[in-house]
Amino acid sequence: MLLIERCSAWARALQTGNLVRRAEPKPDPDAPGAFLPNGAAAKSGLTKSILDAGWQTLITLVCAKAADAARTVVLVNPAYTSRTCSGCGHVLASLALAEREHVCPACGVISDRDVNAAINILRAGTALRQASA
Ligand SMILES: [Zn+2]
């Protein structure tokens, strides 16, 4: 029961509203009143995907399935998982969604953005699991 209660709290804490927020307009400094591309089209696609996925429902279902199978679910804080280099830990100041490659200026590692983030999430989840064991 503790696992189900904790999963429900995690699902409630997931702030999908922050993930689906509109992209900020970028004023063009060379043309007053005009705007530069801000990645709104790409953001719009991601927003639809996030809303379609029903992440809170997904977390609840995964936790229930894990409880049935006597498995552990570890939720990881996703902050900076894309911007942190999985090779050396350097954190990029920014990484636009349209940039699909993570290029580390500190160690030179080049990796797919999602693969880099997945490695960081795996490490964080493993550390959390070991800390609670
Ligand atoms: Zn690096």
Cβ atoms within 10 Å of 64's Cβ, excluding its own: 14
Condensed to tens digits (0 to 9), the pLDDT of residues 3-52 reads: 555 666 666 666 666 667 777 788 888 988 888 888 777 778 777 877 77
Q: What does the pLDDT read at residue 12?
A: 66
Model pLDDT, residue 69: 95
* CA–centroid distance, residue 106 to ligand 1 (Å): 5
Q: How far is the CA of 82 from the centre of ligand 1 (A)?
A: 12
pLDDT at res. 78: 85
- Dihedral angle at the C-alpha atoms of 77, 82, 86, 90, nearest 10 degrees? -100
Per-residue pLDDT of 66-121, as tens digits, reads 999 999 888 888 889 999 999 999 999 999 988 999 999 999 999 999 999 999 99
Q: Locate the domains of the chain by residue range.
A: 1-73, 76-133
Over residues 50-73, mean pLDDT: 85
- CB pairs under 8 A, 24+ apart, for 65-70? 66/3, 67/3, 67/4
Task: Write out the residues surrounding ion ligand 1, Cβ under 5 A.
Answer: 85, 87-88, 90, 104, 106-107, 109
